[in-house]
């Protein structure tokens, strides 16, 4: 008979009677009212400067409205806070626009009434007017990520916008009359951006004896 191997995690995830992690690598920061200050719990590697608002790159010198939090940072905070489930619901979907909600059931802790679980939901959308480039081919995924970011940020009272929520309006020129999420339109826009015309590509293919 073979030997039965029981895989064991290197560390057991435990929470104390207050619903807080018992982990030497997690240092909680508390506000004056006794609640967890989740803003100060964000690890520096998950914060970057918002270059549309400042030229400063030292995040320690920036205000919250000059910062951007990365998706990984919000996932990290969600894991530390603790949750039972994350559910996405697409409320509207078309080739040009997707709207989705994210519902998170957070575990109860000393901050919640009677230590009970809390359901929190946020809504977000993604369309040709608030996305750009290659991302316009993945509107549903973008909408879901945005909804998740907002659900975590709003519940944990974090006033730093997430990277997934930002779109560079200076470089995007969506055309609402066309489905620019299609490969054909995306390729056409890319050729215009790179100043490459179809005739030059065709001539090159003919010279190289490419069939088609």
Give the 3-state secondary structure of 149-169: HHHHHHHCCCCCCEHHHCCCC
Angle at 142 between CA 103 and CA 157, to 5 degrees: 45
Return the domain boundaries, the chain: 38-181
Q: What is the full per-residue pLDDT of the chain (212 aa) written as tens digits?
A: 578 888 888 888 899 999 999 999 999 999 999 999 999 999 999 999 998 889 998 999 999 999 999 999 999 999 999 999 999 999 999 999 999 999 999 999 999 999 999 999 999 999 999 998 888 999 999 999 999 999 999 999 999 999 999 876 322 233 444 444 555 555 665 566 666 666 666 666 666 664 54
pTM of the entire structure?
Answer: 0.76
């Amino acid at each position: 008979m073979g030997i039965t191997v029981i895989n064991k995690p290197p560390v057991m995830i435990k929470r104390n009677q207050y619903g807080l992690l018992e982990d030497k690598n997690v240092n909680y920061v508390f506000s004056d009212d006794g609640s967890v200050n989740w803003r100060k719990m964000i690890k520096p590697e998950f914060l970057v400067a918002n270059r549309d608002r400042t030229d400063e790159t030292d995040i320690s010198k920036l205000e919250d409205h000059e910062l951007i939090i990365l998706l990984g940072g919000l996932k990290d905070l969600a894991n530390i806070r603790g949750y039972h489930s994350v559910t996405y619901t697409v409320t509207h979907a078309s080739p040009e626009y997707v709207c989705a909600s994210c519902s998170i059931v957070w575990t109860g802790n000393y901050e919640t009434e009677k230590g009970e679980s809390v359901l929190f939901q946020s809504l977000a959308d993604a369309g040709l007017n608030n996305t750009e480039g290659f991302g316009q081919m993945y509107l549903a995924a973008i909408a879901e990520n945005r909804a998740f970011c907002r659900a975590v940020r709003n519940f944990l009272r974090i006033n730093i916008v997430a990277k997934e929520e930002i779109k560079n309006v200076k470089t995007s020129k969506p055309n609402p009359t066309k489905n620019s999420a299609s490969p054909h339109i995306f390729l056409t826009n890319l050729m215009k951006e790179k100043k490459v015309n179809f005739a030059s590509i065709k001539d090159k293919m003919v010279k190289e004896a490419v069939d088609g």
